[in-house]
Amino acid sequence: MLPPTSEVELGSPYTPPMRRLTLSLVVLLAACGASSQSIDDIPELPAVSTADLTSLLAGSDLPVIVNVWASWCTPCRSEAPLLAAAADEYGPEVRFVGLNVRDSQTQAREFVAEFYRGAAIENVYDREGGVPVDLGGSRAVPLTFFFAAGGELVVLHNGVIDERTLAIQIDELLRG
């Protein structure tokens, strides 16, 4: 039988179950979380202009997915693991480009260290954030462009992309 609330005093061996549960959950989540990442092995992201990216797209024999992200963008953090997984799975068939916008190099590199370390994604840097607008998008992040081989824009996805949508769009690119 549980003791009345008034009998629960500081130092008492009795701990209410909910408090123990909450404490355990906090400790578990803290333990499972990512630790701070070293960025020493992450090179600076190469700066890119609209002309550079358009040239890359036009010259690509593979379909290209360009994901626009920023380290300060919370939704970008949510979709980054999905894009890394997609790049690993479809790397030989589809080219993945991460376009970092309106960010500092240090924060961009920290983001790369946390989510894209070793992933088959070429991350580039657009400090002013004008390239996505020139490609037909907007200044909002995240954005995901799906280009066919040769550079034709097939689909522009606004906002966070989910697994099903990403898988369908990749399938469309590969069958198109």
Partner 1 sequence: MEFTLLFAAAVGPGAAWIVLRFGEPHDEAEASRRELWDTMLTGIIAGVLVGRLAAMLTAGVNPITHLGDVVVIRGGVATGWAGLAGLVTIGVAAWRRRRPKLPDALAPAALTGLAGWHAGCVLRSACLGTPTSLPVGWAQPGSEIVRHPVELYAAALLLLAAALVWIWRRRAPLFAPAGAALAAAGMARLVTEPLRPSLHGGPVAWYAGALAAGTLVAAVALARRSAKHDREPPPPRR
Residues classed as catalytic: 73, 76
Number of residues in the chain: 176
Closest approach, Cβ 59 to partner 1, in A, equals 24
- Print the binding letters for residues 140-159 with partner 1: x by CB under 8 A, - otherwise: --------------xx--xx
Residue 93 near partner 1 by CB under 8 A: no
Q: For strand 64-69 and strand 95-101, is the pairing parallel, antiparallel, or unpaired?
A: parallel
Closest approach, Cβ 52 to partner 1, in A, equals 27
CB-CB neighbours of 32 under 10 Å: 7
Residue 10 near partner 1 by CB under 8 A: no
Q: How far is Cα 100 from Cα 125, in angstroms, rounded to an integer?
A: 5
Q: Which of 44, 89, 93, 134 binds partner 1 (CB under 8 A)?
A: 89
Question: DSSP characters for 90-154?
Answer: HTTTSEEEEEEES--HHHHHHHIIIIITT-SEEEEEESS--HHHHTT--S-S-EEEEE-TTS-EE
Tokens representing 34 are 């990512």
Residue 74 near partner 1 by CB under 8 A: yes
Q: Which of 3, 43, 59, 75 binds partner 1 (CB under 8 A)?
A: 75
- Print the binding letters for residues 99-138 with partner 1: x by CB under 8 A, - otherwise: ---------------xx-----------------------
| Residue among 117, 42, 120, 109 nearest 69 (CA) | 109
Residues that bind partner 1 (CB under 8 A): 26, 29-30, 32-34, 74-75, 77-79, 81-82, 85-86, 89, 114-115, 154-155, 158-160, 162-168, 170-172, 175-176
